[in-house]
Amino acid sequence: MSNHYFYGIMKRIFTLAAIAAAVANIFSAQAETVTIEAGGLKSAVASDPAAVTALTVNGTMDASDFAFITSELTALKTLDLTAAAPEGDAIPECGLMVASLEDVKLPKELKTLGQGALGGTAIRTVELPATLTTIGHGAFAECKNLTALTIPAGVSDLGAAFAAGCTALESATVGAGVGILPDRAFEGCAALTSVSLPKTLTAIGADAFSGCKTLADVTMPESLTSIGDHAFYGAGLVGIDLTGCTQLTTIGEWAFAKCPYLEMASMPANLKTLGRGVFYNATSMALSAVPEGVETVGDFALTGVAAGDDKNALTLPEGLTSLGAYALADWNNIEVLTIPPTLESIGDKAMANWTSLKQIDASKAVTIPTLGAEVWKGVPQAEAYLDVPKTLFEGFSTADQWKEFQVRAASSELTELPQISGAEGLKVRFQRPLIIVESAGAPIAGVQVYDMAGRLFSFPLNNDGTTATVDTSAWNAPTVIVRVELADHSAAAIKLSLR
């Protein structure tokens, strides 16, 4: 179905809403029960059609009968089709689109509810027969009084926007026969608080829950393989747990963007891509790390998210190859960033406004990642350290946007820590932010600092022979090993807490 055709149906639905008020209470109420054969409804209704408010139809029906209902029964509020047998066991396109209709009983053997069939009506509830297999595009769209909807297990074909714009809808259950929740399924259902999805569901379509402002929680079926663009855009989600969705490999663009109450999002281990803007401006969400296994973080994917661990540090996962434009922008609490050796490119302003950044650990890098424009815009680069392998020290030191950091060479290989040997009169202490080494004996010849994995770092060092100080203001490790060499060739290695 083309977009032009679909929007034509939606236009008819919106027009009905305007008609409803105009016809209300103009005519005295009339109720009729008729038994007909297909095509005979118009002649069977004895009253003025515009005055009929309740109608029960028994017998066969065809498209002309439904056309009569929608065009001439403009005051109809109650319709009972339980004993009716429509042609093909189907309600045709826009077949019951009567703005005043408040209560409807559908044929007991109904198989197909056509496109826009009940769209724009005033129904409050509807019971769908177990025989139903197909619900067309916009079948219940803009039913603004509908409060609950249950899709029977026999339904396998759901049309786009089938319940979009049902602003009073509070609960919905999707039956086990549905494998794909279509695009715009519940778009704009601002009162929706409860939705049950089947365990058989493999895909959630684009905009499926967009604008569902009160939807705080959804249990995601483990069978999911994809979540469409804008699927939960602007929804009221507080948390989302996808860890059980082991087949999920793609989350679409802006899928959870602008969810103002989203505090937690747990991703499956096999997820490879965070799409463009996926968590954009989810300002309540605290993300301790970019999910393991992710290889690509799209443009704007995590912009504005509160991120980092309890030490305001962030380690990007091994396997990550690219960060898109603005991907991690506005993470203004991060002090220490660790870059994996797999990272190849960083997009425009990807780390813009990291105003607290003090250190980047790129000591495992095997190549210098390419940078887009103004990657570090707003970052105090001149005050932050960049630790790189000795083999890439010159390259980082001369590369645009990298060279603005205080580049330091660090060993990228593990070093066997030296054994403690006698060093008389030696004292080592930590007085934030300095490691202070004092020797009452032989002059201090050198000081090295290792992390607990044995990696050697170079630090700003002041040494007058009797006292040496090492500035650790950019260091985030809780514990280090300090090795001190004295002029008499004695040495000591000391474990020191920086807390």
Please determine, for residue 290, whether its predicted confidence score (pLDDT) is greater than 70: yes
Q: Are 127 and 221 part of one and the same domain?
A: yes
Residue 436 maps to which CATH number? 2.60.40
d(CA 231, CA 184): 8
pLDDT at 488: 84
Amino acid at 284: S
- Residue 358 domain flag: yes
Q: Are 260 and 341 part of one and the same domain?
A: yes
Q: Are 138 and 115 in contact (CB under 8 A)?
A: yes
Where among 375, 410, 445 does a domain terminate?
410
Domain housing 350: 108-410
Q: Are 219 and 351 part of one and the same domain?
A: yes
- Global pTM value: 0.76
Q: Are 388 and 449 part of one and the same domain?
A: no
Burial class (CB in 10 A: 0-12, 13-18, 19+), 279: buried
For residues 225 and 456, which has the higher predicted lDDT (pLDDT)?
A: 225
Which is it for strands 434-439 and 467-471: parallel, antiparallel or unpaired?
Answer: antiparallel
The predicted-structure confidence for 48-94, as pLDDT tens digits, reads as follows 999 999 999 999 999 999 999 999 999 999 999 999 999 999 999 99
Where among 376, 410, 444 does a domain terminate?
410
Mean pLDDT of 396-418: 75
Residue 334 maps to which CATH number? 3.80.10.10
pLDDT at 91: 98
The predicted-structure confidence for 107-120, as pLDDT tens digits, reads as follows 999 999 999 999 99
- Residue 30 domain flag: no
Q: Are 189 and 155 part of one and the same domain?
A: yes
Mean pLDDT of 334-362: 94
For residues 6 and 93, which has the higher predicted lDDT (pLDDT)?
A: 93
* Spatial CB neighbours of 193, under 8 Å, sequence gap ≥ 6: 170, 171, 214, 215, 216
- Residue 380 domain flag: yes
Please determine, for residue 193, whether its predicted confidence score (pLDDT) is greater than 90: yes
Give the angle subtended at the CA of 66 by the CAs of 104 and 32, to the nearest 5°: 60
Mean per-residue pLDDT of the chain: 89
Q: Are 67 and 74 in contact (CB under 8 A)?
A: no
Of the segments 151-155, 385-389, 432-436, 493-497, which one has the largest average pLDDT value?
Answer: 151-155
| Positive or negative torsion for Cα 215, 262, 255, 155 | negative
Per the structure, the count of domains in the chain is 2
Q: Are 360 and 234 part of one and the same domain?
A: yes
Q: Are 486 and 363 part of one and the same domain?
A: no
% of the chain residues with pLDDT over 70: 90
pLDDT at 98: 93
- Residue 333 domain flag: yes
Q: Are 292 and 160 part of one and the same domain?
A: yes
Please determine, for residue 9, whether its predicted confidence score (pLDDT) is greater than 80: no
